[in-house]
Structure 1
Amino acid sequence: MSLKLIHPGLLTTVQDLGRTGYQQYGVVVSGAMDRLSLRIANMLVGNREDEAALEITLRGPELAVQQDTLLAICGADLSPTVDGIALPQWRPVLVGTGGVVRFGPCRSGCRAYVAVAGGIDVPQVLGSRSTYLRGGLGGFEGRMLKAGDVVKQGPAGERSARLAKRLTERLTPDRPFQAAAWHIHPPHMAAVSEPLGVRVTPGAQLGRLDQDSRKRLFGSVFEVSPQSDRMGYRLQGAALRQTSTEELLSEAVPPGTVQLPSDGSPIILLADRQTTGGYPRIAHVVSADLPALGQAKPGDKLRFRPVTLEQAERLYLLQEREMAQIRMGIRLKLQNKMDKEM
């Protein structure tokens, strides 16, 4: 089975949960900007959570379905349709052969994820199918997708095949797709507000900020600038001043590191971040807030909220507990208990 791109959209790439285990060699992790949405999309079609999917940004592609395909779209609401009929998100959908999935205006968020039963089948590079655009590594020939590309799907598992069969039986000539009646609505999308509250723990060089700048860091509203991408978000707002101009040795930078260049405008490092950095690390976005942050787009506003390391760990554990509940609920639906719900 395969999908053919009629139009590539603004930025469509193949992503999974990232290329781990090689940062000591300078290999960038990459992976989905909103890991929760990718994981849930994969769950909905019966995949492992780390299977590769399509990550689409702001303006989506046109995808021609060349054979009946079980898919799920999670993350941003980019107004998906099939042959002009609105396509529901956060649930499994069987799109019939010849259907064309299109995306319209961005209603909320920034990035949507299209998972298909069996996952996107591209070669693994260092254990991952994720695309690192700057390095031309992984994904579909190491690049963003373009018109005419044909993206293959891997073999579907038993649960995926069973659900696809039941939905296929409900297809009709005037209905290009059939969706399950049940759906998932994850907390990290429901909680998005303006400005977005981003919780951070103190960075190793927070003490380099003068007193007024430290107040501005936690008391001001910052805006995601147009000079932002998968590598990091450059923020606009009140400039932050350092008490020292002493240069630092480069050190490892985890996802969510808030760096402060000499111009005083913070940068939040994200999925395609470099493995080391020499700018002062003034804060770190907690892991639980990275998925919502990955849905921010240029012009969106955010505010930093300080938390302790213990609070950050608790937030992560709570989020994973919610994911476990979602996983169990979907698993029950994908077993033999779906007949009454669909």
Structure 2
Amino acid sequence: MTALVVERAGPGVTIQDGGRHGHLRHGVTVAGPMDPAAFATVHAAVGNPPGAAAIEVSLGGLDLAARDGAVDLAVIAPGFDVRHDGTLLPSLATVRLEAGGHISLRPGSVGAWAYVAIAGRIALPPVLGSLATHTRSGLGGLDGRALEAGDVLPLVDLRPREPAAARLVAPWLDPSPAPIRVLLGPQDDHFAADQIAAFLARDWTVSPRSDRMAYALDGTPLRHAAGHDIVSDGVAHGAIQVPGAGLPFVLMADRQPTGGYPKIANVIGADLGRLAQLRPGASLRFQAVSLTQAVAARRALAERLTGGPAREAIVRTVFTSEFLLSCNLISTWSE
């Protein structure tokens, strides 16, 4: 059976699909991708259905090799260094790995999460209807854990795609310095007006304590007007909790099902990916928008994703010595 072999995987590289839905009432988190827009784009590039399984790559990077057959795949890795058999690829690209071929992803100057999708299907057993890996509870993916060197991912239903190699153009994934848009509430009444204004006006910094469960923010603490404990209720992807210390946490893909701290705001769906792609040390601001504006932004992103990324021919601009030596630069001639 054709497979992908993990030759190297940094911390936090996992199998993710659209998430494990319908089980929050049982205390089971959704998991799924950190950057939903990048995740949807990588599947559109290879013709997979939305929510199919892909490999999510952290700043630790990843090396893969094809075994027992060729594999067509897409890589969406804004800001990462991507190489196919040692040759530099665009960070958004499709490529064919022949049997024994290699692809590697390494962090570059920007970006925190990358995705690799196969034109086909990763043949692993679902748990509660999903392959999404939640390492804290040991559910999904490969034995409920992050990928490691030596792991083998069996592949089925492979579909060769022509042309196999192309640069992908997805401007909706371009980094932007614009503020992260939020809807205020549902517990913004736990903060005085001046503290809500401060939340929106201050610069916040992504803390090194951040992970798939939550992005911790550093800055000047906020003050609660009505205490920092509430009756625990459900939390959504992007909910911004403010515990007693006054420093916000943005709940991410591996968030807990419920929380007992007031939520001052929630990141809108269209901006979840932009937030996720910020590295520790990056600064950001928040901007409050209306529900109408949030829905319009989500609709606009969905419309752009419907057509998928554009494809362009890859034009070589870097000629390494290894590439030149692989070419037949000298030929014989006789009369």
Contact kept, 8 Å, 1:40 with 1:49, in 2: the verdict is no
Contact kept, 8 Å, 1:121 with 1:152, in 2: the verdict is yes
Which moved further from structure 2: 266-275 or 62-71? Answer: 62-71
SS in 2 for 1:40: helix
Contact kept, 8 Å, 2:4 with 2:65, in 1: the verdict is yes
2:222 is equivalent to residue 236 of structure 1:
no
Distance in 2 (CA, whole Å) between partners of 1:246 and 1:209 is: 10
2:48 is equivalent to residue 47 of structure 1:
yes
Q: 2:176 aligns with which of 189, 192, 213?
A: 192
Aligned residue for 1:287?
269
SS in 1 for 2:179: strand
Distance in 1 (CA, whole Å) between partners of 2:299 and 2:41 is: 17
* TM-score relative to the length of structure 2: 0.88
Aligned residue for 1:179?
165
How far 1:306 sits from its partner (Å)? 0.4
After TM superposition, the structure 1 = structure 2 runs for residues 190-339 of structure 1, keeping only pairs within 5 Å, are 190-193=174-177, 197-245=179-227, 247-326=229-308
Supply the RMSD in Å over aligned alpha carbons. Answer: 1.9
How far 1:49 sits from its partner (Å)? 2.0
Q: 1:131 to 1:109 in 2, by over 3 A?
A: same
Which moved further from structure 2: 83-92 or 135-144? Answer: 83-92
Structure with bigger gyration radius? 2
**What amino acid is aligned across from residue 249 of structure 2 in structure 1?**
I
Distance in 1 (CA, whole Å) between partners of 2:80 and 2:304 is: 25
2:16 is equivalent to residue 26 of structure 1:
no
Distance in 1 (CA, whole Å) between partners of 2:186 and 2:169 is: 38
Distance in 1 (CA, whole Å) between partners of 2:47 and 2:307 is: 15
Aligned residue for 1:87?
89
Distance in 1 (CA, whole Å) between partners of 2:102 and 2:109 is: 20
SS in 2 for 1:214: helix
After TM superposition, the structure 1 = structure 2 runs for residues 61-100 of structure 1, keeping only pairs within 5 Å, are 61-66=62-67, 67-100=69-102
Contact kept, 8 Å, 2:78 with 2:91, in 1: the verdict is no
Aligned residue for 2:138?
136
Contact kept, 8 Å, 1:117 with 1:154, in 2: the verdict is no
How far 1:247 sits from its partner (Å)? 2.9
User: Deviation digits for residues 135-181 of structure 1, max 9, x if unmatched?
Assistant: 0000110000111111112312xxx33x2xx45xxxxxxxxxx613x
Distance in 2 (CA, whole Å) between partners of 1:11 and 1:246 is: 31
Aligned residue for 1:16?
17
SS in 2 for 1:213: helix
Aligned residue for 1:174?
none
How far 1:100 sits from its partner (Å)? 1.7
Which moved further from structure 2: 3-12 or 215-224? Answer: 3-12
Q: 1:255 to 1:26 in 2, by over 3 A?
A: same
* TM-score relative to the length of structure 1: 0.86
Ranges in structure 2 where 5+ consecutive residues have no aligned partner: 314-335
Distance in 2 (CA, whole Å) between partners of 1:81 and 1:75 is: 11
How far 1:191 sits from its partner (Å)? 4.3
Aligned length: 311
User: Deviation digits for residues 105-152 of structure 1, max 9, x if unmatched?
Assistant: 423210000001113221111111100010000011000011111111
Contact kept, 8 Å, 2:3 with 2:66, in 1: the verdict is yes
